[in-house]
Amino acid sequence: MKEKLLNIEVNSEIGKLEAVLLHTPGAEVENMTPRNAQRALYSDILNLSIAQKEYEQLSGVLNKFTKTYQIADLLCELLDKHEEREALIGKICVSEEVTEYFEYLMDMSSKALTKVLIEGLPARINSLTAYLKDDYYALQPLYNFYFTRDASVSIGNKVLVCKMASKVRMRESFICEAIFRSKRIFNGDVLNAHDFQPGNNDVYMEGGDILVAREDILLVGNGTRTSSQGIDMLINRLCRSGCTEKKHIIVQQLPESPESFIHLDMVFTLLDTDKAMVFEPLIMGENQFQTVHMIIENGRVSKIKSVNNIPSILKKLGMEVDTVICGGSADEWNQEREQWHSGANLFALAPGKVMAYARNVHTLNELDKIGFEIIPSWDVISGKNDIHKIKNCVVTIEGSELPRGGGGARCMTMPLRRSPVKWPK
């Protein structure tokens, strides 16, 4: 009997998680050296064995709480279908200028091809061109793929396939698009950013910059990974896909440096119907980075203006949030240190139930002060603590290696379906 398709539906950041897309880091993370770390968008290289033990805590909690899907499993299943394999491999080979490998890749088993597409394909040094290119890989490893948040985003019943800021990550989007377009596991409309002005290098966006605050409110970061042109494209695509209700797009400009500000979810995440984690100097403080409110009516932008900050405009829209300060309010030094280690990058399993790194102790203290119980992930996995029976909690995962890749619990999760939220009246 054919398994029923999972309908994509995400209308908030906090609704009870019903399904999520993951990728467990593997050999691709070790197929990196200090020489290519910068190209891989890392500030450091990871110890895979430790990173996997830390990731096991994240995935273990999610497996206890909700339905999880692994990208490698979905990709391997997709590659069993000749037409879908041919389309994906053709797109990858053309994009990465390795068309001479097309037949070689097509002849691989699905399992071997899945491994190569994620972990990388060493180049064949059989020509002068290949020799002079001086690159070990024909297909680069997907070092960043465990950050499943960025390549695609669930918005309502649609999946936006992102046009990534860096070419080294484009294959992630191609793989995600193939999985969602196949309609064998998931059911949802696919909006592909690659199809819109494909030659325009100014159009790019990533999922870490896109937060679904409420069904009618989208928060978007504008920085090094998501351009203003990319945001305009996103609004255009959403408006063209049957959007008739009034929508609000709140855009937050982000600094180009330090690199810990790469996405909006590194400085602002939602924890509950009335709480948000913020990096105070950027979100609440006076600075040169604008917060812009755009109103969409009848499929077009009807009004656009600057506002004080995200919490203030959310309040005006009937979504008042108390701010919890990343790193604590006492010391700017602690705020900066913990923001650097993804202290503001929390992921909601349900309203008031979130995941975070254990290393950010000052951030955890702030949450403890307002009634969030701090629970180690292994206590959830072992059954010692049932988070369904706890009102507010933070499930902590160890984070000595995973943060080196530049992200936290939200970065490593791509929700596919969430339950509706009962908003305060």
Reported as a single tens digit per residue, the pLDDT across 161-213 is 999 988 889 999 999 999 999 989 999 999 988 877 777 889 999 999 999 99
Q: What SS3 class is residue 114?
A: helix
Q: Residue 395 domain-assigned?
A: yes
Between 245 and 88, the higher pLDDT residue: 88
pLDDT of 128 over the 90 cut: no
Q: Residue 366 domain-assigned?
A: yes
Domain count, the chain: 1
Tell me the CA distances in angstroms from 89 to 77, 99, 117, one per residue in order.
14, 9, 9
The pLDDT of residue 1 is 46
Average pLDDT score over residue span 14-22 = 98
Whole-angstrom distance, CA of residue 315 vs CA of residue 174: 38
Average pLDDT of every residue of the chain: 92
Q: The domain that contains 10 carries what CATH number?
A: 3.75.10.10
Lowest mean pLDDT among 155-159, 197-201, 291-295: 197-201
212 CB burial (10 A radius; 0-12, 13-18, 19+): buried
Cα angle: 25, vertex 270, 337; to 5 degrees: 65
Q: Residue 125 domain-assigned?
A: no
Q: Residue 294 domain-assigned?
A: yes
Q: Residue 406 domain-assigned?
A: yes
CB-based contacts of 305, cutoff 8 Å, min separation 6: 292, 293
Q: Residue 1 domain-assigned?
A: no
Lowest mean pLDDT among 34-48, 77-91, 132-146, 383-397: 34-48
Reported as a single tens digit per residue, the pLDDT across 362-398 is 999 999 999 999 999 999 999 999 999 999 999 999 9
The pLDDT of residue 339 is 95
Q: Residue 424 domain-assigned?
A: no
Whole-angstrom distance, CA of residue 202 vs CA of residue 319: 33
Reported as a single tens digit per residue, the pLDDT across 338-360 is 999 999 999 999 999 999 999 99
Whole-angstrom distance, CA of residue 241 vs CA of residue 223: 26
Q: Residue 389 domain-assigned?
A: yes
pLDDT of 136 over the 90 cut: no
The pLDDT of residue 258 is 81
User: Domain range for residue 264?
Assistant: 6-114+133-418
Between 142 and 300, the higher pLDDT residue: 142
Q: Is the pTM of this model over 0.75?
A: yes
Tell me the CA distances in angstroms from 211 to 142, 268, 338, 407, one per residue in order.
24, 9, 21, 15
Closest listed residue to residue 75, CA positions, set 124, 138, 148: 148
State both tokens at 370. 């307002």
pLDDT of 403 over the 80 cut: yes
Tell me the CA distances in angstroms from 276 to 339, 354, 416, one per residue in order.
14, 11, 22
